[in-house]
């Protein structure tokens, strides 16, 4: 009798404990980073609820800026959007690394991200998903396209697309033999690089069919054959490759541009416990493999690539021989104020006739 | 006593409107104005001044874009009027009863789906591998695929289509109120179709024309989706500039200044339009 009472009391206690601890995690992330199956498992295991909002880098920063860092509990901007945005708008709060199981992370990536997002000795982000942007090419029709500047070749005129965003500026600068990342700290030198890129992009404009905005838009254009060469993300290329073997992601001669999407806490987030629980949950190798299958990109989870299907691995290896991996240009943190210089250039390119 | 009661009723009825105006229109604009007059001088350092407005006038790109947006919107307004007037006249004067209701409903039906869906519909029709291009190839008019998208004509098509309803409705209303016997009298006095249109119908419909034009012009000028999606690489539109200042450049100060300039300059254009057409706002809106 006594035993029974203790048991039920314990059960009630346990239930109320989970109820008190259960939080709603408002996650601001990219499409594919929080698959339905992963959310269900997480909710069943921890009792926390997850609400997902899909977005992109610029919108994430803009949204948090509008609310002074409120409205979300965990966000996933790229690592280059942490330090500058923090300095300017103060929208993040430092991570408590003791609450994160760092043994789940690939060490080199964890260290790189920590270094990149460090401010005043505090770490603001840990890595999650990484990938590159480079060229997606219909190899049968546009075999000549090996580098960003090849998009301006006459033989692909009118069948080319890229975004009017900063990766395009960076990619063209590298392909033109300059190193924009080295000039990040020096506004005048950077402006010099941008001026040359601007002239090139204006000259190249006649070649462009349209500037694409969203991932689905460029995939449609490539699939229909209206565009045969484009700057795009590696996953987009691999997805198209599954449907049409002629189309694939090509790491440009001057180097693919590597990004790492991170976990960061908004400064006024309310469900930190749930956020840390989510980080530790999705970095487990088997969960990371589920996310890789959904998003198409690999994660910073140690052993997370083991459970990924062979077709995706094969595509990755075709696009990235070892020297191409070594040649990846990883985005360093964007200093505050750089966007204004780039924005003026992009506006002028957009307006050029 | 009664006057107190009616006053209370007056304020109670007024309060939703006041609340709406204050919280959703006036307060955000006041906030935006203060953002627009703060100039960024460094990281988290701002000064008060009109530098952001000066940027608009000093950089030809920005006022060129505004001018382009304005004249494209004016052109779209005129096109909408040219197409909408016969449609409205037909609905108001030449049909009766159920036919009239049906035709009116048919003008309305496209607006049951969202603007985004309608714009994507146009993209499916006009793209290189789209319906129109394939049809032209099928009937043998052209040899290869044609790209109809990503140019000014595509933007214009989208704008006219999007705003047609807002021209037709006020026109039908004013034309409905025109007594048919006036037109008959015009014929009796020896007028022909053209003189009757010029002397009787248009003067009578003028308030409807003007209010339709104002609405269509404002909608086109403030449109974001249609120019961006249909215009492609040449889709320079002022609202697009504002969006990119706010979202991709993190430059809310300049974006707010652009927002105010759009408000001011578009009001100015409407004012000039009213003066040219010798209509007053009260007369146009009061009908």
Residue-level pLDDT at A5: 52
Mutant choice from A57, A211, A227, A345 vs B, greatest count of B C-beta within 10 A: A211
Say whether pTM exceeds 0.90. Answer: no
Distance CA B156, CA B235 (A): 11
Nearest to B128 among A226, A348, A350 (CB): A226
* A281 and A312 belong to one structural domain: yes
pLDDT surpassing 90 at residue A202: yes
* A231 and A91 belong to one structural domain: no
Inter-chain touch B236–A337, beta carbons under 8 Å: no
Question: Tell me: the pLDDT tens digits for B185-229?
Answer: 999 998 898 999 999 999 999 989 999 999 999 999 999 999 988
Residue-level pLDDT at A315: 87
Question: Tell me: the pLDDT tens digits for A56-112?
Answer: 888 899 999 989 999 999 999 999 889 888 988 899 999 999 999 999 999 888 998
Inter-chain touch B247–A343, beta carbons under 8 Å: no
* A140 and A187 belong to one structural domain: yes
Going by C-alpha positions, the residue among A293, A11, A252 that lies closest to residue A129 is A293
Average pLDDT, chain A: 89
pLDDT surpassing 50 at residue A18: no
Residue-level pLDDT at A19: 45
* A97 and A24 belong to one structural domain: yes
* Parent domain of A150: 133-256+328-351
Residue-level pLDDT at B233: 81
* A187 and A288 belong to one structural domain: no
CATH number for position A280:
3.40.190.10
Question: What total number of domains does chain A contain?
Answer: 2
Residue-level pLDDT at A148: 95
Residue-level pLDDT at A351: 86
pLDDT surpassing 70 at residue A189: yes
Residue-level pLDDT at B3: 66
Question: Tell me: the pLDDT tens digits for B133-191?
Answer: 999 999 988 888 888 888 899 999 999 998 999 999 999 999 999 998 999 999 999 88
Q: How far is CA A279 from CA A72, B33, B69, B153, in A?
A: 15, 41, 47, 50
C-beta of residue A144 within 8 angstroms of C-beta of residue A282:
no
Minimal CA separation from A62 to chain B, in Å: 6
* A61 and A92 belong to one structural domain: yes
Nearest to A340 among B150, B246, B251 (CB): B251
pLDDT surpassing 80 at residue A308: yes
For residue B127, the chain A residue with the least C-alpha distance is A226
* A195 and A66 belong to one structural domain: no
* A250 and A162 belong to one structural domain: yes
Boundaries of every domain in chain B:
13-49, 59-286
At residue A194, the 3 state secondary structure works out as helix
Residue-level pLDDT at A147: 94
pLDDT surpassing 80 at residue A337: no
| Per-position b or e across B198-227, b if 16+ CB within 10 A of its CB | eebbeebbbbbbbbbbbbbbbbbbbbebbb
> What ipTM was reported for this prediction?
0.79
pLDDT surpassing 90 at residue A38: yes
* A219 and A108 belong to one structural domain: no
Residue-level pLDDT at B48: 86
For a pLDDT cut of 90, what percent of chain A falls above it?
Answer: 63
* A226 and A244 belong to one structural domain: yes
* A196 and A284 belong to one structural domain: no
Distance CA B30, CA B14 (A): 22
For residue B64, the chain A residue with the least C-alpha distance is A351
CATH number of B59-286: 1.10.3720.10
* A35 and A113 belong to one structural domain: yes
């Amino acid at each position: 009798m006594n035993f029974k009472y203790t048991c039920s009391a314990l059960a009630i206690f346990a239930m109320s404990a989970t109820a008190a601890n259960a939080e709603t995690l408002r996650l601001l992330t990219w499409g594919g980073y929080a698959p339905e199956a992963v959310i269900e498992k997480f909710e069943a295991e921890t009792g926390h609820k997850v609400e997902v909002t899909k977005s992109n880098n610029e919108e994430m920063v803009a949204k948090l800026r509008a609310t002074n860092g409120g409205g979300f509990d965990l966000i996933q901007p790229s690592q280059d959007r942490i330090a500058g945005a923090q300095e300017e708008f103060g929208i993040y709060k430092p991570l408590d690394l003791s609450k994160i199981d760092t043994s789940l992370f690939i060490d080199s990536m964890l260290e790189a991200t920590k270094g990149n997002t460090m401010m005043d000795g505090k770490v603001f982000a840990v890595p999650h998903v990484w990938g590159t942007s480079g060229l997606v090419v219909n190899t049968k029709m546009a075999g000549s396209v090996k580098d960003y500047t090849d998009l301006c070749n006459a033989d692909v005129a009118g069948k080319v697309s890229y975004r009017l965003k900063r990766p395009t500026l960076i990619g063209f600068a590298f392909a033109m033999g300059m190193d924009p990342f080295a000039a990040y700290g020096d506004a005048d030198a950077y402006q010099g690089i941008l001026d040359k890129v601007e002239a090139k992009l204006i000259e190249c404009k006649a070649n462009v069919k349209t500037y694409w905005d969203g991932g689905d838009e460029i995939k449609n254009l490539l699939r229909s054959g209206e565009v045969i060469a484009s700057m795009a993300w590696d996953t987009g290329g691999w997805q198209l490759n599954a449907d049409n073997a002629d189309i694939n992601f090509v790491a440009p001669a001057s180097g693919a541009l590597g990004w790492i999407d991170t976990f960061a806490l908004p400064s006024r987030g309310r469900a930190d416990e749930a956020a840390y629980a989510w980080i530790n949950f999705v970095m487990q190798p088997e969960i990371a493999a589920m996310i890789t299958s959904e998003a198409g990109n690999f994660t910073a989870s140690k052993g997370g690539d083991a459970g990924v299907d062979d077709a995706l691995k094969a595509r990755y290896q075709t696009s990235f021989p070892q020297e191409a991996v070594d040649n990846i240009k990883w985005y360093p943190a964007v200093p505050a104020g750089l966007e204004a210089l780039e924005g003026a250039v992009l506006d002028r390119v957009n307006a050029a006739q | 006593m009664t006057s107190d009661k009616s006053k209370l009723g007056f304020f109670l009825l007024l309060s939703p409107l006041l609340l709406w105006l204050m919280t959703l229109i006036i307060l955000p604009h006041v906030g935006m104005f203060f953002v627009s007059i703060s100039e960024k001088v460094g990281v988290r350092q701002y000064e008060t001044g009109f530098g952001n407005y000066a940027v608009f006038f000093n950089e030809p790109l920005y006022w060129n874009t505004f001018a382009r947006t304005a004249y494209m919107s004016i052109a779209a307004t005129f096109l909408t009027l040219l197409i909408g007037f016969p449609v409205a006249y037909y609905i108001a004067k030449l049909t009766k009863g159920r036919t009239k209701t049906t035709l009116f409903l048919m003008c309305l039906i496209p607006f049951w789906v969202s603007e985004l869906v309608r714009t994507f519909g146009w993209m499916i029709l006009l793209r290189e591998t789209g319906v129109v291009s394939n049809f032209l190839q099928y009937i043998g008019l052209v040899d290869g695929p044609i790209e109809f998208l990503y140019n000014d004509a595509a933007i214009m098509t989208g704008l006219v289509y999007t705003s047609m309803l807002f021209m037709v409705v006020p026109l039908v209303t004013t034309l409905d109120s025109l007594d048919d016997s006036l037109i008959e009298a015009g014929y009796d006095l020896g007028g022909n179709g053209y003189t009757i249109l010029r002397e009787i119908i248009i003067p009578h419909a003028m308030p409807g024309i003007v209010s339709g034009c104002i609405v269509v012009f404002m909608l086109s000028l403030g449109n974001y989706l249609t120019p961006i999606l249909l215009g492609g690489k040449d889709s320079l539109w002022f609202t697009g500039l504002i969006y990119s200042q706010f979202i991709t450049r993190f430059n809310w100060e300049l974006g707010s200044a652009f927002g105010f300039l759009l408000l001011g300059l578009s009001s100015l254009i409407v004012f000039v339009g009213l003066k040219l057409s010798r209509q007053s706002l009260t007369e146009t809106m009061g009908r």
